[in-house]
Amino acid sequence: MWDMQLKSFNELIALKREKKPIEQEYVLMVEHEPVYTMGRHANPANMLISQELLKQDGIECINIERGGDITFHGPGQLVVYPIIDLQEHGLGVKQYVWLLEEAVIRTIARYGIKGERIEDATGVWIDKGTPNERKICAIGVRVSHSITMHGFALNISTDLNYFNRINPCGFVDKGVTSIEAELHERVNINSVKHDIQTILNKLLNE
């Protein structure tokens, strides 16, 4: 998936540099096998167990070129990688991150979950302003020549125990949740994927 992203990302950057029209953009969606990723400015201390213990479980921790700190990707989590030209959509980086958050907020609202933003804490959160603040969606992007890669990870039926091995996104005082943990019932990941596609497409083309 990383290779697919880079291929599409570099393709769009080459078109920008050659001042050729971009006729196709991409939104890649995936459920990863269990893996931890460290953003450009991640603090290694936020990985709470050793590489040896990770290897025993067959899990890697990979340094990646997105923003943000450490996070987990795995089954039951929908990871969305838009590879688009922000300039074509009239967006700056901050506006783009806001748009990704908005797509998730609108999606989980369809399931009766109120998602919110927290100042200086990128992503989508539940129970803002309470001692039980918890993150349902992490965001980390890379932008070059106005072309994006990486994106966001929405927990749907993710095994949240994986987050106990890290300080998620560098936070030591906030929890992590999923759609299923909030609803206490099973949710079809394909239904969530369809909702994300519909809402993200609408926001990008408004």
Percent of the chain whose pLDDT exceeds 70 = 100
Structure confidence at residue 41 (pLDDT): 84
pLDDT band at residue 54 under the 50/70/90 scheme: confident
For residue 53, count CB atoms less than 10 angstroms from its CB and return exposed for 0-12, middle for 13-18, buried for 19 or more.
exposed
Predicted confidence (pLDDT) at residue 90 exceeds the cutoff of 90? yes
Catalytic residue among 169, 176, 192, 200: 169
Percent of the chain whose pLDDT exceeds 90 = 75
User: For this structure, is 169 an active site residue?
Assistant: yes
Check if the beta carbon of residue 147 is closer than 8 Å to that of residue 9: yes
Structure confidence at residue 67 (pLDDT): 82
Predicted confidence (pLDDT) at residue 33 exceeds the cutoff of 90? yes
Greatest C-alpha distance within the chain: 51
Cβ within 8 Å of residue 186, ≥6 positions away = 157, 180
CA distance 192 to 198: 10
94-112 pLDDT, tens per residue? 999 999 999 999 999 999 9
Predicted confidence (pLDDT) at residue 74 exceeds the cutoff of 80? yes
As assigned by CATH, the class of the 2-204 domain is: alpha beta
Predicted confidence (pLDDT) at residue 174 exceeds the cutoff of 90? no
Q: Model's pTM, two decimal places?
A: 0.93
